[in-house]
């Protein structure tokens, strides 16, 4: 059994791991683009997105899967990126907030967040939008009560919940038309 030493930060752990030859090849699609990386097998999807691919729209909140700030879609399913190991998603398709708009044309849920002021500080907004997209796709946006229930894994510290729910409700209605 290997005993891993304790490192003061992620960078030193990654350097030590690379020095031991503990990297693996990973191929996946991120926001419609093919990506090939050599990664430490302990790297989370969140850290891969932020540190290796410079996609910083996905936020690191609690880093424990409790706040939802890091929500992304993996193969169309909502996932807390901080809890998901990148190596487990070989060949997967990941969509982050950077991949939601089509060029400068915002997606309906993004426009609805603006219309309903579904953000205040904006820190949780990317995760809220990604989770909202998943909620709609899963068919859980039929009522405000359903939206509130199915979005309960995403925390907004500013308390913009009424606007968030209204935005998801509007986007779901537009999606049905």
pLDDT given for residue 93 in this prediction: 98
Domain ranges of the chain: 10-99, 108-176
* Per-residue confidence (pLDDT) for residue 175, from 0 to 100: 83
How is residue 115 written in tokens?
Answer: 């219309």
Instruction: Note the helical H segments in 59-160.
Output: 108-115, 125-137, 144-150
CA angle at 113 for the pair 51 and 96, rounded to the nearest 5°? 25
- Quick one: tokens of 101? 């708009």
pLDDT of the residue at 21 = 66
Cβ-proximal residues to 141 (8 Å cutoff; 6+ apart), any chain: 132, 135, 147, 150, 168, 169, 171, 172
Helix axis angle for 161-176 and 125-137, nearest 10°, is 40
- For residue 8, what pLDDT is reported? 54
Specify the pLDDT at position 176: 78
Angle subtended by helix axes 125-137 and 108-115, to nearest 10: 120
CB 109 within 8 A of CB 129: yes
What would the CATH number be for the domain defined by 10-99? 3.10.20.30
Q: Which CATH class is domain 108-176?
A: mainly alpha
| pLDDT value, residue 4 | 46
pLDDT at residue 18, rounded to an integer: 58
- The answer to whether 136 touches 109, Cβ cutoff 8 Å, is yes
The pLDDT averaged over each successive group of 10 residues in the chain (177 residues) is 49 58 92 97 97 97 96 97 97 98 95 95 95 97 97 94 97 86
Average pLDDT over all residues of the chain: 91
């Amino acid at each position: 059994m290997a005993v891993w030493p304790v490192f003061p930060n992620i960078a030193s752990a990654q350097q030590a791991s690379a020095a031991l030859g503990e990297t693996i090849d990973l191929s996946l699609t991120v926001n419609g683009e093919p990506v090939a990386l050599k990664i430490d097998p302990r790297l989370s999807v969140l850290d891969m997105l932020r540190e290796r691919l410079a996609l910083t729209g996905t936020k690191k909140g609690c880093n424990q899967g409790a706040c939802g700030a890091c929500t992304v879609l993996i193969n169309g399913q909502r996932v807390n990126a901080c809890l998901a190991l990148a190596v487990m998603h070989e060949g997967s398709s990941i969509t982050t907030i950077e991949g939601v708009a089509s060029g400068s044309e915002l997606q309906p849920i993004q426009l609805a967040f603006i219309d309903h002021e579904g953000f205040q500080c904006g820190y949780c907004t990317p995760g809220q939008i990604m989770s909202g997209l998943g909620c709609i796709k899963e068919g859980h946006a039929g009522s405000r009560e359903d939206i509130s229930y199915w979005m309960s894994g995403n925390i907004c510290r500013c308390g913009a919940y009424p606007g968030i729910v209204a935005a998801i409700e509007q986007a779901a209605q537009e999606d049905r038309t």
